[in-house]
Chains A and B, each alone.
Chain A
């Protein structure tokens, strides 16, 4: 549905993405710049040098993108934390004495990680920058979920009622539509596609109506008006048009 609504690659979404990138770039440079301006370490030595500044900016970037995850599942969390750990491991290795001794011209950043990452100033800057980068994203997501929820969001929000479904299944499992051999059968119902429930308010405009409308429904036509539970099966959606299939057992009702 989202793809049908051109939600992912339209000019509007591109513009939103570009705006977010501009904002992030500005934050990721200017916050460390202002924090490092005229600053020194807590023992008086240099911290505003080229290499420490570069390390600070790249660490801010990593934290900012790691926090911007959409779904914090267990696997996702493990991999994100793992990649952060890998980043620090590689950084400390590259900036260690050993690598410098092997190839001095390739590893000029020696000592930078040790000397700058033990400053509370640096960690506070990293924390501030990542929070500031992530803030609009989280606010946007929250507002979108609250004010214009998509079908996926609503589906995630409503819990599935399992008991009702199980009960329906069991009572009618012994009955098959083919027992009603004296009736027409389901042939034209299936081929017309009307077994998909039609919405009363057309939110997703992708569906077109195929086949007969329900105005021609006659309870005598299909199974002599018999229905397994004797009542309409979805009480929560009163404004959905009653299709003939609602009188039959269906699995496609309340639980998505």
Chain B
């Protein structure tokens, strides 16, 4: 914040104008500003979970997830063995949907009175726009999702059927539930993080997450110990490079120095040998 006070509409203009080395009284001026608080993003991270296994990645039916009615009752063969439960077809079918992450994480702020204040978490806006609006569609024909999914069964490992993922919001229920969409976007690496909730920035100078103690309430539903996996919750702010990953910075500095060093070395070689080459004779 530049407070020199050169222009006449600056608060410190009077002080700047009248001040000389002889003045004994201090001159006071005030400058107002607002601190911008960023959004804080809450992720759940899993380790040793190979969402990039080929059989796993293929085990889905994109036509069914797009709301195709014929695929709803007759899902693709790729979903085996999670295709039908008994005689009824499963919606959504496949191993990816079956292993949906179903832990619930709630964040509380513990203030000085030891009272818990729940931090408001936003559950929409976490999936890609193209996924939510083009790739995943609920089956058409019935605004009542219970009726739309009536000839289907829930996936084997789920507690609730797909039309009860978020009954309070019809725009987040069924196949277009954002947590479901985020999970269906299979990760490339065995250690990954997926966006869970967003903590919105507050107006004014209130920090998004004030200093102090917090409590994380976990509804532990998801078993990971059977494959030596680990679960964690990550809170992060975002920059234009996305998250905190210093690799690109370090790599650029390293490669840049290598290139510079190589350039100098090759320049010396060129200078030394080029003179020899142009005066060299063509021997044959």
Contacts and interface: CB of A to CB of B under 8 A. Distances in A.
Interface of A: 31, 33-54, 97, 100, 104-105, 108, 110-111, 114-115, 119-121, 124-125, 128, 131-132, 135, 139, 142-143, 146-147, 149, 151, 154-155, 157-158, 197, 199-201, 203-204, 207, 236-237, 239, 256
B284 to A, nearest CB: 4
A40 B238 contact: yes
A198 B195 CA distance: 76
B91 to A, nearest CB: 15
A42 B130 CA distance: 16
B128 A37 contact: no
Contacts of A151: 282, 284
A197 to B, nearest CB: 7
B126 A45 contact: yes
Interface stretch (B108-116, B138-146, B149-157, B266-274): B266-274
Nearest to B41: A44
27 contacts: A33-B189, A36-B188, A38-B193, A38-B244, A40-B238, A43-B238, A44-B126, A45-B127, A45-B128, A45-B195, A46-B187, A47-B242, A48-B193, A49-B186, A50-B51, A97-B130, A111-B131, A121-B241, A124-B252, A135-B259, A147-B273, A149-B280, A157-B277, A157-B278, A158-B278, A199-B284, A203-B283
B130 A38 contact: no
A105 B135 contact: no
B284 A50 contact: no
A154 B284 contact: no
A197 B281 CA distance: 14
B262 A135 contact: yes
Given A40-B195, A105-B76, A128-B251, A146 B274 contact: yes
A203 B284 contact: yes
Contacts of B284: 151, 197, 199, 203-204, 207
Contacts of B240: 42, 120
B247 interface: yes
Nearest to B61: A105
User: Which 10 residue pairs of A and B lie closest in terms of their CB atoms, listed nearest first?
Assistant: A111-B130, A53-B188, A44-B41, A199-B284, A146-B273, A34-B247, A40-B243, A50-B186, A104-B62, A104-B63
Contacts of A199: 283-284
Contact of B134 (A45, A110, A119, A204): A110
B24 interface: no
Nearest to B39: A44
Contacts of A124: 248, 252
Contacts of A40: 41, 43, 193, 195, 236, 238, 242-243
A155 B282 contact: yes
Contacts of B259: 131, 135
